[in-house]
Copies of this chain bind each other. A is one copy, B any other.
Amino acid sequence: MTIQRADTKQKILRAAYELFYRQGISRVSVDAIAARAGVTKRTVYYHFASKDEIAGGVLDVQHLLLMQQFEGWVGGVSGGVTEILSALFDKLEAWSERPDWLGSGFSRIAAELADMPGHPARQAAKRHKGAVEAWLAERLGDAGAMAPEQLARQVMVLIEGAMGLALIHNDRGYITAAGHAARSVAQVNTPTG
């Protein structure tokens, strides 16, 4: 039955996401995914051709969810560039307070698979980061930034670095610092007024 099928597949994807986010791809076995989803491994391989395909599926779902997340965080902000950046980094900081927070799953998987540029999960990470940057550039442009693409790229670097160092040091102060830096960069980037 179609409904049953979709349900099982979603269960597998959810289980895989939880495990992949915590442990990365290499250290998670398909057996573990199956066990967490409450099905047998053979069922997993009925729905997915390979472990890599599961990873690809997980990241596709996450990409959609995260774009909604960003839109929800910043979509309603009505001020200028500074207000957008403040809102963005505040939300990032709040997100990082969650007890199960382990940084950006996309970045961590890209780091894990650094030597495999063609891996589906690497490609998904690249597409995701590119989409976020483009979305941010548009938001910043609408808010009156002078060189929105350039500013968006610098802000992306700050987000990426803040997540990485907050994780390494288990210190959210890096996100605060990145927020300050983002506003400094925007200030230099903006016609004085």
Which residues of A are at the interface with B, using a C-beta cutoff of 8 A?
A: 22-24, 26-27, 102-103, 106-108, 110-112, 114-115, 117, 122, 125-126, 129-130, 150, 153-154, 156-162, 164-165, 167-170, 173-174, 177-178, 180-181, 184-185, 187-189
Additional pairs, 13, CB under 8 Å, beyond known A153-B174, A156-B174? A24-B111, A26-B26, A102-B115, A107-B111, A111-B164, A111-B167, A153-B177, A154-B181, A156-B161, A160-B161, A181-B181, A181-B185, A187-B188
Tell me the nearest residue of chain B to A186, going by C-beta.
B184
Q: Is B161 a contact partner of A157 (Cβ separation < 8 A)?
A: yes
Q: Is A157 a contact partner of B184 (Cβ separation < 8 A)?
A: no
Q: Is B185 a contact partner of A117 (Cβ separation < 8 A)?
A: no
Number of copies: 2
A160 to B102 Cα, complex, angstroms: 16
